[in-house]
Structures are given as C-alpha cells and as structure tokens.
Chain A
Amino acid sequence: MEIIAGILVLLMIASAIAAASFQDLMNAVIASCIVSLLAALLFYLLQAPDVAMAEAAIGAALVTGIFVIAVKRTKRFEE
C-alpha cells in the first residue's frame, strides 16, 4: 500500500511540475486535472471516501470544464 501511495505521490508531483512548465495553457489545464484525479485516489487511500468523491467530481470534471471554456475564450499560449 505504501508503494502504491509513493508512486501516486510521485506522479502527482510530476504532473504539478508539468502544469507549471507547459507553455500551452490547454496542456497545463489537463495536467492540473491529473493532479486533482491523483489527489482523489490518495484521499481514497487515506480512508476519506466522501472527500474522494467530491474531489473526483469537482476537481477532475467541473474545474477542468471551467478552465477549458476560459482558455478557449482567451489566449491559448502563454507569452
């Protein structure tokens, strides 16, 4: 269980760094969506199913949708 948690945490940190470094904002949004999804899995491993459910529905679906709409309306590339 600890190994799985370690792998998930490493993937999460890698996605967060990717979200920070991407020039294309759409890629950054998808990377932050992956951070939320992995955080939901970690919440499940930490025995918090309520929070995992909320994070999966909101962090991975709604926030990504809002960001995608916003990026589509503004500039796609960071200058």
Chain B
Amino acid sequence: MNFLSEYTYYIGAFSLIIIGLYIILVKKNLMKVIIGFSIFDTGIYLFLIAVGYLREGTAPVFSKPGLDAGKMVDPVPQALVLTAIVIGVAVLALAVILAIKIYAHYGTLNLRKIKEQRW
C-alpha cells in the first residue's frame, strides 16, 4: 500500500508503456498501431518528468522573489520532454500520412493482409 501511494506516477507511466507496447505488438489495424505509439510516447514523457520531481518542490520559475532554489524540481528532464513532444507530433503526422497512402494503395489497413508488412 505504501508502495502504491509513493509510486503513483511511476505506476501510471509503467501502465501506459505496457498498454502502448501491447497495442503495437498485438493489434492488426495500422491506425490502431499508431495510436499505440502515441500512448507509448505519453508514458515515457510521464516517466521522465516523474524522475525529475522533488517532493514539496516548486516549478523551476523564479516568478516571485523569495523562492528557494534548493526546493525546485529538476529543469533538465522538463526541457528534454518539451522538445520531444513537439518532435513527436511531426513524426506522428508522417506516420499517419504513410498509413493514408497505404490505404489508398492496398485498400486495407489490416497488417495481416498487406504482403510487405506481414511477419
């Protein structure tokens, strides 16, 4: 029980990563696989931000005087995730447009039916 209340965010990130991986590995529909990638991404962002958290910390912004620098959360993972989110949406759009082209070419999104995608 103690573990649950301590590691709430880690559990959320862990579950999102596992659900995303499950969708990517098991689902047959290409659009569903891309949704799985999006959920997987979100899990990784949540994990990175949770690693940088400091208990009772404040955001790394000196918005008013008198804020203690020693009680601020780590800004480095935040900067990393910030750029990763923006890159993620561009790559996702590329994947989506490829899926649309595959549908226009083969007439299906089912990965089992597309010969080049089968394994």
Contact = CB atoms under 8 A, between A and B. Distances in A.
The 10 A-B residue pairs with the shortest CB-CB distance, nearest first, are A9-B12, A74-B103, A47-B59, A78-B29, A16-B19, A70-B96, A13-B15, A47-B73, A54-B85, A48-B78
Interface residues of B, number: 52
A54 B57 CA distance: 21
Interface in A27-79: 28-29, 32, 35-36, 39, 42-43, 46-51, 54-55, 58-59, 62-63, 66-67, 70-71, 73-75, 78-79
Contact of A66 (B11, B57, B61, B96): B96
B88 to A, nearest CB: 8
**Interface secondary structure of A, over-half rule:** helix
Contacts of A35: 16, 39, 42
Contacts of B85: 51, 54-55, 58-59
Contacts of A5: 8-9
Interface of A: 2, 5-6, 9, 12-13, 16-17, 19-20, 25, 28-29, 32, 35-36, 39, 42-43, 46-51, 54-55, 58-59, 62-63, 66-67, 70-71, 73-75, 78-79
B32 A78 contact: yes
